[in-house]
């Protein structure tokens, strides 16, 4: 769809005339119709300043008014070839359906996978065409698409702020008496505390280049909010205190939000290459605690051996 068609589509969805849209973005009433008509007919391309005003007036995400214009199946194929090369997309034909698939283990496309899941969940929530609410739901779906991912990112930000509002006061009270982590082994012990408390974190690593890696620790946000007044919530707050002290030591820590099948996930990215190797033992700790009721004496003995060995191996100073 070309840019002019997109402007027309979103104007119509908001039940605006060309004159109303033109006036809303700052044109005089006498010229508004003509200017918007030229944009929609692709006889004139809006400059960046005008495009930004159109984005605001039409209440859409900036990506909704891009110049991407796929006009033929050949164009579609070239885009799909690019997806294959850049994103590792694959194609399968099964049970009369052609499916385009992405590998969920590909950490480089986590954000895309999160977007696709959000789309999937939205599609599955729509009523059928025979439902009396279908027309209104379909309009809302089109509006959802036009504001994607703006509204999703706004939701993530709101949820992150809710988490901060919940735990920041707890952390501030805890910090003065909190023992700062001195070694990587101290962080491993904290991860063991989290697992013992039943907090379902996931550990992974990222590689940015030679000598540049990160430990990624991910948590289901809803669970963190639910445990705020429990012993487990206290352990999570202690983990947040650890992060503050690590930042003071010069370790770069960032946060990311994603939509997962279990809800919104918050991830802490500890960008410090020596920490990237901690992901393996962190996952063993988590799995051990999750399966504790089924573990044999031999399982316990082997875990204890690997855990103590990791504490010795990582008994090195935490420093950025």
What does the DSSP assignment read for 186-245? Answer: HHHHHHHHHHHTT---EEEEEEEETTEEEEEEEEEHHHHHHTTTSHHHHHHHHHHHHHHH
Per the structure, how many domains does the chain have?
A: 3
Q: Are residues 40 and 101 in the same domain?
A: no
Is 95 inside a domain boundary? yes
Q: Which of 147, 178, 203 is the last residue before a domain boundary?
A: 147
What pLDDT digit, counting tens, does each position of 252-273 carry?
A: 999 999 999 999 999 999 999 9
Is 320 inside a domain boundary? no
Q: What pLDDT shows up at residue 68?
A: 82
Q: Are residues 206 and 302 in the same domain?
A: yes
Contact present, 152 and 264 (Cβ < 8 Å)? no
Q: Are residues 285 and 245 in the same domain?
A: yes
Contact present, 220 and 160 (Cβ < 8 Å)? no
Q: Are residues 138 and 207 in the same domain?
A: no
Is 212 inside a domain boundary? yes
- Crossing angle between the packed helical segments 231-248 and 184-196, to the nearest 10 degrees: 160
Q: Are residues 189 and 235 in the same domain?
A: yes
Q: What pLDDT shows up at residue 242?
A: 97
Identify the burial level of 221 via C-beta atoms within 10 angstroms of its C-beta, where 0-12 means exposed, 13-18 middle and 19 or more buried: buried
Q: Are residues 96 and 200 in the same domain?
A: no
Q: What pLDDT shows up at residue 241?
A: 97
DSSP state of 126: S
Is 318 inside a domain boundary? no
Q: What pLDDT shows up at residue 102?
A: 97
Is 192 inside a domain boundary? yes
Q: Print the domain residue range for 296.
A: 156-313
- Dist. CA 260–CA 115, nearest whole Å: 9
Q: Which residues in the chain come in under a pLDDT of 50?
A: none
DSSP state of 64: G
Q: What pLDDT shows up at residue 320?
A: 73
Is 319 inside a domain boundary? no
Helices (H), 88-183: 110-124, 134-146, 150-174
Q: Checking DSSP bridges between strand 212-220 and strand 252-260, what pairing results, if any?
A: unpaired
Q: Are residues 78 and 59 in the same domain?
A: no
Q: Are residues 246 and 227 in the same domain?
A: yes
Q: Are residues 172 and 60 in the same domain?
A: no
Is 46 inside a domain boundary? yes
Q: Are residues 163 and 202 in the same domain?
A: yes
Q: Which of 89, 120, 147 is the last residue before a domain boundary?
A: 147
Identify the burial level of 35 via C-beta atoms within 10 angstroms of its C-beta, where 0-12 means exposed, 13-18 middle and 19 or more buried: buried
Is 270 inside a domain boundary? yes
Q: Are residues 168 and 282 in the same domain?
A: yes
Q: Which of 123, 147, 171 is the last residue before a domain boundary?
A: 147
Output the pTM of the full model: 0.89
Q: Are residues 106 and 243 in the same domain?
A: no
């Amino acid at each position: 769809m070309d840019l002019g068609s997109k402007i027309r589509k979103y104007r119509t969805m908001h039940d605006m005339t060309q004159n109303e849209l033109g006036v809303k973005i700052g044109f005089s009433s006498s010229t508004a119709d003509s200017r918007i008509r030229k944009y929609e007919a692709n006889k004139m391309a809006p400059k960046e300043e005008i495009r930004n005003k159109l984005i605001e007036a039409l209440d859409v995400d900036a990506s909704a008014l891009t110049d991407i214009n796929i006009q033929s199946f050949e164009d579609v194929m070239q885009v799909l070839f690019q997806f294959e090369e850049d994103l590792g997309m694959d194609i399968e034909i099964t049970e009369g359906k052609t499916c385009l698939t992405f590998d969920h283990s590909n950490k480089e496309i986590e954000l895309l996978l999160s977007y696709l899941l959000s789309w999937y969940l939205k599609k599955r929530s729509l009523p059928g065409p025979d439902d009396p609410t279908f027309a209104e739901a379909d309009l809302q779906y089109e509006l959802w698409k036009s504001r994607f991912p703006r509204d999703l990112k706004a939701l993530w930000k709101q949820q992150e702020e809710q988490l901060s509002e919940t735990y920041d006061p707890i952390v501030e009270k805890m910090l003065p008496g909190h023992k700062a982590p001195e070694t990587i082994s101290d962080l491993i012990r904290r991860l063991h505390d989290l697992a013992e408390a039943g907090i379902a974190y996931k550990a992974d690593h990222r590689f940015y280049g030679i000598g540049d890696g990160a430990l990624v620790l991910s948590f289901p946000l809803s669970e963190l909010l639910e445990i705020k007044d429990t012993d487990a919530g206290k352990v999570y707050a202690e983990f947040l205190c650890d992060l503050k002290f690590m930042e003071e030591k010069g370790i770069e820590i960032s946060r990311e939000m994603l939509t997962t099948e279990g809800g919104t996930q918050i991830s802490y990215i500890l960008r410090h290459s020596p920490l990237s190797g901690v992901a393996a033992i962190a996952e063993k700790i988590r799995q051990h605690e999750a399966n504790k009721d089924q573990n044999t004496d031999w399982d316990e003995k082997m875990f204890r051996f690997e855990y103590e060995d990791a504490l010795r191996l990582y008994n090195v100073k935490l420093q950025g």
